[in-house]
Amino acid sequence: MKWNIYKLITTMFMIVGGIIFLIPFIWMLSASLKPEAEVFSYPIQWIPSVFMWENYTAVWTGEFLLAYWNSIKVTVITTVIAVTFSSMAAYGFSKIQFKGRDILFLLILATFMIPAQAILVPQFIIYQYLNLFDTHMGLILLNSFSVFGTFLLRQFYISIPDDYIHSAKIDGAGHFTIFTRIITPMVLPGIATYAILVFIFTWNDYQGPLIFLRSDHLSTIQIYIAKFASESGIMYSLTMAGTVSAIFPLILAFILGQRYVIEGMASSGVKG
């Protein structure tokens, strides 16, 4: 393979730029290994004076693994449900003609515009009524119906030419077959991207479990990490050790998901 000089220069620039994008993460790593008093010392001390691996051992004890497992469970199930429902709805809103479709879509879109804080109390009342309060099922359902995801995927579905559907119909295929076998594989980059996003949203969700869960044994990882606080405030070194520990599933999800983005690219005949 030949090295292209322009490509090399661009790569250099992007590496410099990339460092800027990594700074918060580097700060997290560094803070997670510092003694508490050093976390906010100024100017920033990127390399801790002593490496406090104890921060990690302090985090990885007790119920941390249970909280980790709870988060994995809730996040994976939410992701699967949300992707399924959103892609179905996106297909319906883009590739099936029915009366009032666009108005219905706008109406659904409008539900995304209400601030979460405004409907928290009514949601809570409904949850009590449906016995979903303080259950993982309730937490999962909370993030499973995504207007955001539907809109995102709709934009992907809509750019697939209708000819594919017509020819499939002539071959006798129904919408279900067209949806699962023909169109969805074509928007795999979109699906994978949305799956990554929903995974991250759910994994990082703090407000949801804070309000809708109470039992300790149901606690998710974000709630658990927030417990590293003393009477006079947050213990940032421990919190960051927890946050860094909790970031790996996100990176994993991202890398796995990105493979599908690239595979999808191959299937639609576009080369990177």
Partner 1 sequence: MKKKLVLLLLFVGFIALLAACGNNGASDASNEGDSNAGEGNKDPVTINLHHWYNEEQDNWHAVIEAFEEEHPHIKVNTITTGNNNSQENREQVDITAASGGKLDVIMLSNEADLNQRVAYGMFEPLNDYIEKVGLNMEETFLVDQSIDGVYYSLPAKYSMMFVMLNKDALDEAGLDIPKEWTWDEFMEYAAALTQGEGSNKRYGTYFEWWPFYRTLALTNHEDAGYVKPDGKTSNMDHPMFRKSLEIRERGEQEGWATPHADVIGAGLNYRTEYFNQRAAMLVTGSFMVAEAGGVPGSPSEFTTAFAPIPTSVKGDPITSGGGVETISIYSGSEHKDEAFEFIYWYTTKGIHLQGKYIPATAGTDYKDIVQRLLEDSPAPEKVDIDSLVHTLEVTNVMRPLIVPYQPELDSVVQNLTDEFLLGSEDMDTTIEKVHQRVQQVIDENN
Partner 2 sequence: MAGKVEIGETSTVVKKRPKMKDKTKETWAGILFVSPLIIGTSILVIIPIFMALIVSFTDYVFIRGMGEMTFTGLKNYTRMLTDAQFIKSLVNNLILLCAIPVSMGIALLLATIINKYVYFKSLFRVIYFMPFISSIVAIAVVFQLLFHPSFGPINEFLMWLGISDPPRWLADTRWALATIIIIQIWTGLGFNLIIYLAALQNIPKELYEAADMDGANFWGKFRRITVPMITPTSFFLFMMGIIGSFKSFELIVVLTGGGPNYATSTLVYYIYERAFLNLNSAYAAALSIFLLLFLLVLTIINWYGQKKWVHY
Site for partner 1 in 25-54 (CB under 8 A): 35-43, 52, 54
The DSSP bridge partners found for residue 230 are: 233
* Among 15, 20, 97, 232, contact with partner 1 (rule: CB under 8 A): 232
Is 122 one of the binding residues for partner 2 (CB under 8 A)? yes
Other residues' Cβ atoms within 10 Å of the Cβ of residue 133: 17
- Dihedral over Cα of 130, 132, 137, 143: its sign: positive
Q: How far is the CB of 69 from partner 2 (least distance, A)?
A: 20
> How would you class 205 by CB atoms within 10 Å of its CB: exposed for 0-12, middle for 13-18, buried for 19 or more?
buried
Other residues' Cβ atoms within 10 Å of the Cβ of residue 167: 12
Q: Using CA atoms, how far apart are residues 161 and 163, in angstroms rounded to an integer?
A: 5
Q: Between residue 233 and residue 272, which ones bind partner 1 under the rule CB under 8 A? A: 233, 235, 237
Residue whose CB is less far from partner 2, 1 or 215 = 1
Q: Between residue 187 and residue 216, which ones bind partner 1 under the rule CB under 8 A? A: 210-211, 214-216
Residue whose CB is less far from partner 1, 178 or 238 = 238
Is 131 one of the binding residues for partner 1 (CB under 8 A)? yes
Residue whose CB is less far from partner 2, 167 or 217 = 167
Is 258 one of the binding residues for partner 2 (CB under 8 A)? yes
Is 189 one of the binding residues for partner 2 (CB under 8 A)? yes
Q: How far is the CB of 160 from partner 1 (least distance, A)?
A: 23
Stretch that binds partner 2, among 58-66, 67-75, 140-148, 212-220 (CB under 8 A): 140-148
Q: Between residue 34 and residue 93, which ones bind partner 2 under the rule CB under 8 A? A: 40, 42-44, 84-86, 88-89, 91-93
Is 200 one of the binding residues for partner 2 (CB under 8 A)? yes
Other residues' Cβ atoms within 10 Å of the Cβ of residue 169: 13
Q: Between residue 2 and residue 31, which ones bind partner 2 under the rule CB under 8 A? A: 6-8, 10-11, 14, 17-18, 21-25, 27-28, 31
Binding site for partner 1 (CB under 8 A): 35-43, 52, 54-55, 62, 73-74, 76-77, 80, 120-121, 124-125, 127-128, 131, 133-137, 140, 210-211, 214-216, 218, 223, 226-233, 235, 237
